[in-house]
Chain A
């Protein structure tokens, strides 16, 4: 077959090749286009929400030990003040078993707080 014959075939029958049938599903396609565009409009909001959730999780994991250290330090400071007050009370009332007993207990607690605080600081 030569070029001219091929051109003739294409000219005569080419437009019928895979010619779409009547009744194109144009309206249903438009509906789907809009559905997909709508979904895509929400993507930035969903992505922002997901990013915010991740930030909150990471922050809570990072900040929790810091918070505990701060709480432990504050508790330690409060305990040290209490110890000072108890020591003063013991000095004023050296024979009072109540002050002596609680001064001893507070010193033990202060040592325990110190250990916890040190451990938490190292874990950061």
Chain B
């Protein structure tokens, strides 16, 4: 049975989650197929490392499936799982101490994060290098809020900090970016 057929055999996500709690592999696979792509992309976005992103996606689902019984339906399953994902990704980044490798000077930015050749490639590269050069805490909040669209409340819950801490880190991240990218100001409309 393919993933879509499995999904349709459960009437809604609540049934799917309940079946996954009962260790029904088909239900776990269906949940995985529904959310793995997004979580992998989030992990890749936050780490810039395909192998690490793959490991962290694994860790997220292991932790998610093992703690499914604690899911209280107070939020959507999507929100609950992404909260786990952010927590796993952040601790993965901390424990593997990859941050040193991510402090790339602007002039050595190279092709980091660039997937397409574009006429305004230098601007894009400078932006990505400036984001990479942010301190890890600032970068995490910046990526989650400004690129992934998480609210400060969601970030605060995921990272185990207060909303004001999240807001403060974003404010400082943006200030650093404005400073790092000041050379581009003349090229952009104000």
Interface residues of A (CB under 8 A from B): 1-6, 8-10, 13-21, 24-26, 28-30, 32-34, 36-37, 40
Which B residues fall within an 8 A CB radius of A? 25, 28-29, 32-33, 36-37, 40-41, 44-48, 50, 53-54, 57-58, 61-62, 65-66, 113-116, 123-124, 127-128, 131, 143, 146-147, 174, 177-179, 181-182, 184-185, 188-190
User: CB distance A16 to B58 under 8 Å?
Assistant: no
Count chain A CB atoms within 10 A of each CB in B66, B188, B189 and give the residue with the most.
B188
A-B contacts, 30 listed (Cβ < 8 Å): A1-B185, A2-B178, A2-B190, A5-B178, A6-B174, A6-B181, A8-B189, A13-B124, A16-B114, A16-B115, A16-B116, A17-B128, A17-B131, A18-B45, A18-B113, A18-B128, A19-B45, A20-B41, A20-B44, A20-B50, A21-B50, A24-B36, A24-B37, A24-B41, A29-B36, A29-B57, A30-B32, A32-B58, A33-B61, A37-B65
> How distant is the Cα of A1 from the Cα of B126 in the complex, in angstroms?
13
Taking a contact as CB atoms under 8 Å apart, the answer to whether B115 and A13 are in contact is no
B47 CB → nearest A CB, Å:
7
Which of chain B's residues have a CB closer than 8 A to the CB of A20?
A: 40-41, 44-45, 50, 53
